[in-house]
Structure 1
Amino acid sequence: MKPVNQSKALFRGAFILALAALITKILSAVYRIPFQNIVGDVGFYIYQQVYPFYGLAIVLATTGFPVVISKLYAEQREKRDPEKTRRLLFISFIILQLFGLLCFIILYFGAGYIASWMNDEKLAILLRVVSIVFLLFPIVSILRGYFQGKGDMLPTALSQVGEQLIRAFTILFCAYSLTQLGYSLYLISGGAMFGSITGIMVSAIILFTFLYIRKEWNIIAPRKGMLNGYQREVSVIFKTLAFQGLTICISGMLMIFIQMADAMNLYSLLTENGYEKDMAKAVKGVFDRGQPLIQLGTIVSASMSLSLVPLITSARIKKDVSFLQDKIQLAIRISIVIGVGASVGLWAIIEPANIMLFEDNSGSSVLGILSFVILLSSIITTIIAIMQGLGSLLFPAAVVLATFPLKYILNALFVPIFGTMGAAYATLITLALVCLLLYVKFKRMQSSTVLTVHFLGTLLTAALLMILLLKGCLALTNMITIPAGTERLMAAIQALGCAFLGGFLFLFIIIRGGVFLEKELSLFPFGSKLSLLLPKKNRS
């Protein structure tokens, strides 16, 4: 029974972490909408210019390093050598703290240079606020790795959710309070960025609370002289963290690198090509409305696909080829289906959705193009996760790392011609190239066929019929005369009503068309209900 219990524990832990990731992603996307409503497009521009640097720190504290540390700790724990596991955690902490200190020094003392590169010197103070997070992430990474290495995912999950809750509360509280007091938008955004510090501090407090309640601090507390004579062990741990930890971290930074490139040169390109400074900030702020929309759109596909990764890893280790192929195909089909549905649906209703969320329809055409980022990023995230499950770490990291210079160069080519629409084109081209490179490499690793004629035909039919339904609903509702001052309410009714109708039609055609089998639908939330949409001959 032991292997069965271990398998159940693995999947239970993966589910807990996937649920925590889902909640934090929703919170991360949702808070930006009221924040933009409070500070306006210029205030949103200021915040989004600095956000990618915070995003780097959060990926370091959440994905790569905790995963690698948990793996190393679990291996050492099996050997039942308490001193060796204690030494592993202490060495890892020292290495990460030195790395965090280096990042802090670069960002804090280089803030003026980075702000000048962005062509907005007032951003320097915000960058210095964010730099403090790099001093705090190592302890969070170590404690999360420790608990995950024990197979206990609850502390990590609660620390992630608690961090995001406190951060969102701090951001909205500071934004509202400082706005009411009449402070400048830069000071208001600086107060909002303080949420990155309060969030990670709360995360650390939650993790330490678990140590205190369970009386486990003495198990991991460092001891004097414990590193004497263990230089070789330090070297091995350093190499593991540097290779495995950083490659996994970099692979999780896809959209952060895209946002970073926009932060570094989009505003500069706008001002250099005829935009007055305040107008350029507002236009960049409107462009940044796409980020929460993209995040919300990718949540479902990413969460559902990534929940299959432990199954893929387990099947690879057991050399269960048939099961492995099935789950890989399912993960990719999920990412494509939900990515197409979310991208096409959002594109079709982007104008009322823009008004509902952000008060006006500014930049709707650009946001409509950006909606297709959901499809590409969903596929990329899924392929990267599968490749990591199959043991390939370096290639995905190298490809993702290339997104920053590629997007930066494409911005420089397209923005002077097309404005922010050029930046949207640059994003899509960058992600399309990344997707192509990853897919070519993936096909060399796996020969399974996913894009069958039946699959593509059903998907295209569902997408086209959904577009016709959504555009028809919008045309009819736009004919209704509404009282002045109720435009946003009407837009909300249109957007939500159309989203429900279009989503149901798309899902009905996909399931009715046999894209997913009954046993595959059982893995989805409300799978038993979804299986009722299958033709009777395909039901058990």
Structure 2
Amino acid sequence: MRNKKMSSLMRGAWILSLGGLIAKILSAVYRVPFQNMVGDTGFYAYQQIYPLYGIGMTFALSGFPVYISKQVAQARDPFAQAEVTHRALVLMTGIGLVMFAALELGADLIAQAMADAGLAPIIRSVGLMFLTMPLLSAARGYFQGTFDMSKTAISQVVEQLLRVGVILLAAAIAVHRQWDPYKMASWAMTGAFVGGLGATLVILPAYRKKVKGQGTPRTSLSAYAKLLERFAKEGGSIALFAALLILLQLVDSFTVTRGLIAQGLAPAAARALKGVYDRGQPLVQLGLVVATALSTTLLPSLSRSVARGHWAAFQQTARQLIRFNFGLSLAAAAGLIALMPSVNRLLFGDTVLTGTLRMYTLCIILVALINAYNAVLQSLNRFRYTSYALGAGVVVKLVVNEWLTVHYGAFGAASGTVLSLLVITGLLYLQLPRNLQGLDPRRFNLRLMVVVGVMSEAVHQVAAHMPTVSRVDTLRVFVVCVPLGVLLFVVVGALCRLYTVREVLAIPYGRRFMKWWQHHFGKE
């Protein structure tokens, strides 16, 4: 019976991970055709306000649903589960209404703080999505807490499909009717509300059916105040880490355009350059999808080891998680850096700010490490330390970003992001258990540098000897270099014994790879 339940939990975790992965890929990929359709200034107008949407989306997708699911899972019976969810829904409704009112009434002030009054209508469009956030958060949390992950996964995919559809439709109409960038971005941002509404219509019938007849609990204001405090401490910590890059992008929205103007650029030129700088965000998102897709399979094992008190297994799994995140993120970042001129030309049509985008790509490595360290620390219930580290990193970004932008342009802004992530990474590392900070007896880091060095140098040399005059040329570079890079990472990694047999077996299809390798190249 226990094995059957564990199998069900693991299957649910896979379903939820798959839904989240599809949603992330959709969220990253659509920006490439979108930027090509609306240009750098149109991309700027959309990306300036995107962090406000991103924070709300993170609350509705991961932060609050995860916290609510923990409370639901701990409830003693279906009636208690319904009570917990109802209280969370009431609280989230209050939060959603406050956020909606703040964006609708404060849009002009926020736009002025971003040095562009034309952004106000776009900010008001984003505010609408906070009306759908409460029910989505509560219902997703309820289903995750009762281990029915499919409802959350389906609603995530539906939400992103509808949102991306509205965004691309708005861009197409804007190009056809020659709308100005702000009108286009305002209509594109309504995709957040449409997507949230569609996801609500998907998940609401199932939720109402589950809680029907459970009654409505009466709760005092003091009880809601305590619940709000717990939401802020635990749910807020989970949500903020999930929105880490978005928070740093929000700082960019308030400082980069202003800094570029202070540097001497005309406002129109500064906005267009900020749009080019924002190309780094989908590249980092795609790199993180590659870097963390395999490592998510280890998270259930990590939590299970802590719950059962199996500390040796916990340490082993934690090391695997850190090594996978570091190895795959370094490979993804090195590959992007080696191919960046071609990446920039193929996806966006030119090679402007290639050096800046290379600097921004380093975020892939740091965020992957932060995610691994954070998973380890939160599985040990060290929420306070992780929140302090995140706060310190955001403060560093706030303090240095405009100064770096004024003196070094967009490259300075990218450097500010990397610096803030370095601070967070260092602080989290210092909080890890000492046995996870110790020496590296297998010299994993040295082996990894050799593997990634061989891979990136080979890819760079091949790309350098291929023509890149047109987008068709750069597509050929990708067709040759991407499979080459993957093949070299796998083969050289296997020859260097980068990962142990046990670590390889822990990843999807690892057993098949080991059988294939032993069949063709002999046993270890």
Contact 1:253 1:400 in 2 (8 A): no
Residue aligning to 2:177: 181
CA–CA distance in 1 between the matches of 2:441 and 2:116? 50
For structure 1, the 5+ residue unaligned runs are none
CA–CA distance in 2 between the matches of 1:525 and 1:311? 14
My pick for the range that moved more, 505-514 or 15-24, is 505-514
Residue aligning to 2:43: 44
Tell me, what secondary structure is at the counterpart of 1:440?
A: helix
Contact 1:260 1:404 in 2 (8 A): no
Residue aligning to 1:113: 109
Tell me, what secondary structure is at the counterpart of 2:212?
A: helix
- Please state if 1:393 is matched with 2:376: no
Post-superposition shift, 1:233? Answer: 4.7
Residue aligning to 2:4: 5
| Counterpart among 443, 446, 456 of residue 457 in structure 1 | 446
Contact 1:257 1:401 in 2 (8 A): no
Residue aligning to 1:325: 315
Tell me, what secondary structure is at the counterpart of 2:350?
A: coil
Residue aligning to 2:166: 170
Contact 1:306 1:382 in 2 (8 A): no
Tell me, what secondary structure is at the counterpart of 1:63?
A: helix
Q: Map of 1:256-271 to 2, 5 A cutoff? A: 256-271=246-261
**TM-superposition CA deviations, 1:509-529 (whole Å, max 9, x none):** 122211222332223233234
Contact 2:329 2:368 in 1 (8 A): yes
Post-superposition shift, 1:404? Answer: 2.8
CA–CA distance in 2 between the matches of 1:124 and 1:80? 47
Contact 1:254 1:403 in 2 (8 A): no
Residue aligning to 1:470: 459
CA–CA distance in 1 between the matches of 2:384 and 2:335? 35
Residue aligning to 1:365: 355
Post-superposition shift, 1:385? Answer: 1.6
Post-superposition shift, 1:62? Answer: 1.2
Paired positions, count: 521
Contact 2:259 2:403 in 1 (8 A): no
Q: Map of 1:51-90 to 2, 5 A cutoff? A: 51-76=50-75, 79-80=76-77, 82=79, 84-90=80-86
- Please state if 1:495 is matched with 2:478: yes
CA–CA distance in 2 between the matches of 1:218 and 1:245? 26
Letter of the structure 1 residue corresponding to residue 184 of structure 2: I
Q: Map of 1:395-474 to 2, 5 A cutoff? A: 395-444=385-434, 446-447=435-436, 449=438, 451-452=440-441, 454-474=443-463
Give the fraction of aligned pairs with identical amino acids, expressed as a percent. Answer: 31
My pick for the range that moved more, 104-113 or 429-438, is 104-113
| Counterpart among 218, 230, 235 of residue 227 in structure 1 | 218
Post-superposition shift, 1:232? Answer: 6.0
CA–CA distance in 2 between the matches of 1:239 and 1:416? 39
Letter of the structure 1 residue corresponding to residue 41 of structure 2: V
Contact 1:13 1:151 in 2 (8 A): yes
Q: Map of 1:126-137 to 2, 5 A cutoff? A: 126-137=122-133
CA–CA distance in 1 between the matches of 2:197 and 2:55? 17
CA–CA distance in 1 between the matches of 2:439 and 2:282? 30
Contact 1:88 1:237 in 2 (8 A): no
Residue aligning to 2:19: 20
Contact 2:257 2:271 in 1 (8 A): yes
For structure 2, the 5+ residue unaligned runs are none
Contact 1:298 1:374 in 2 (8 A): yes
Letter of the structure 2 residue corresponding to residue 460 of structure 1: M
Residue aligning to 2:288: 298
Post-superposition shift, 1:402? Answer: 3.1
Name the CA shift for 1:209/1:87 in 2 (closer, same or farther; >3 Å): closer
CA–CA distance in 2 between the matches of 1:345 and 1:452? 27
Q: Map of 1:143-162 to 2, 5 A cutoff? A: 143-162=139-158
**TM-superposition CA deviations, 1:367-425 (whole Å, max 9, x none):** 11111111111111111122112222122122223333311222122112211111111
CA–CA distance in 2 between the matches of 1:232 and 1:194? 36
Post-superposition shift, 1:234? Answer: 3.8
Letter of the structure 2 residue corresponding to residue 504 of structure 1: L
CA–CA distance in 1 between the matches of 2:46 and 2:204? 30
Post-superposition shift, 1:217? Answer: 4.6
CA–CA distance in 1 between the matches of 2:194 and 2:363? 31
- Please state if 1:313 is matched with 2:303: yes
Post-superposition shift, 1:451? Answer: 4.1
**TM-superposition CA deviations, 1:186-236 (whole Å, max 9, x none):** 101111101111111111111013346xx325145x54xx416x5665454
Letter of the structure 1 residue corresponding to residue 404 of structure 2: F
| Counterpart among 483, 487, 493 of residue 510 in structure 1 | 493
- Please state if 1:524 is matched with 2:507: yes
CA–CA distance in 2 between the matches of 1:104 and 1:398? 28
Post-superposition shift, 1:182? Answer: 1.2
My pick for the range that moved more, 111-120 or 502-511, is 502-511
Contact 2:401 2:412 in 1 (8 A): yes
**What TM-score do you get using the length of structure 1 for normalisation?**
0.92
**TM-superposition CA deviations, 1:418-459 (whole Å, max 9, x none):** 111111111111111111111111144x54647446212211
Letter of the structure 2 residue corresponding to residue 80 of structure 1: D
Contact 1:333 1:450 in 2 (8 A): no
Post-superposition shift, 1:536? Answer: 3.0
Name the CA shift for 1:117/1:518 in 2 (closer, same or farther; >3 Å): same
CA–CA distance in 1 between the matches of 2:400 and 2:228? 36
Letter of the structure 1 residue corresponding to residue 346 of structure 2: M
Residue aligning to 1:191: 187
Letter of the structure 1 residue corresponding to residue 379 of structure 2: G
Tell me, what secondary structure is at the counterpart of 1:477?
A: coil
**What TM-score do you get using the length of structure 2 for normalisation?**
0.95
| Counterpart among 191, 203, 228 of residue 238 in structure 1 | 228
CA–CA distance in 1 between the matches of 2:290 and 2:55? 22
Letter of the structure 1 residue corresponding to residue 164 of structure 2: A
RMSD of equivalent CA atoms = 1.9
CA–CA distance in 2 between the matches of 1:495 and 1:351? 11
Letter of the structure 1 residue corresponding to residue 445 of structure 2: L
Name the CA shift for 1:465/1:392 in 2 (closer, same or farther; >3 Å): same
Letter of the structure 2 residue corresponding to residue 47 of structure 1: Y
Contact 1:250 1:401 in 2 (8 A): no
My pick for the range that moved more, 428-437 or 403-412, is 403-412
Contact 1:62 1:141 in 2 (8 A): yes
CA–CA distance in 1 between the matches of 2:271 and 2:478? 27
CA–CA distance in 2 between the matches of 1:404 and 1:371? 18
Contact 1:384 1:396 in 2 (8 A): yes
